[in-house]
Amino acid sequence: MAETIKRIPVKTFADVVTARRQALDLSLAMGFPMPEATKIAVVVSELGRNIMLYAGEGTITLLPNEAERYFKLIAQDQGPGIEDIDLALTEHYSTSGGLGLGLSGSKRMMDEFEVWSVVGVGTRITAVRYLH
């Protein structure tokens, strides 16, 4: 499999489904076992849903790297930003009335998880899962 970079604009639920499916397909093609590929797809879904819920639109970029044996994804928007990143990553913290497991759960499912956010500018989340 050649190195494939996919950048998916996220504006609708259908876009999130497309990003999730592409993440699953690409990670399986890299050799990730189904449970690991599913974790990547779930994180893409969660971050895509957050883009829609909080920013209205943004992008998810999928960066599988077969040579280095990792799958990186970047979720980015120009929404309101996250005021307190540590609080947002706390389990059961929610500003939308949900269970508060989205960001904290996504972080647990990935090997690396970095949140950059500036209030009034936007948010970029970079997550990596290694193929062991």
* Sequence spans of domains, the chain: 6-130
So what's the pLDDT on residue 95?
Answer: 59
What separation in angstroms does the CA of 74 have from each of 40, 59, 69? 12, 8, 17
Contact 22, 4 (CB under 8 A): no
Q: Looking at residue 97, what is its pLDDT? A: 52
As a whole number of angstroms, the distance between CA 106 and CA 62 comes to 15
Cβ atoms of 77 and 49 within 8 Å: the answer is no
pTM: 0.90
Q: Which residue numbers in the chain have pLDDT < 70?
A: 1-3, 91-101
Q: What is the DSSP letter of 63?
A: E
The structural architecture, per CATH, of the domain 6-130 is 2-Layer Sandwich (3.30)
pLDDT score at 114:
96
* pLDDT tens, position by position, 36-62: 999 999 999 999 999 999 999 999 999
- Strand ranges across the sheet with 70-77: 6-10, 58-65, 70-77, 122-130, 112-118
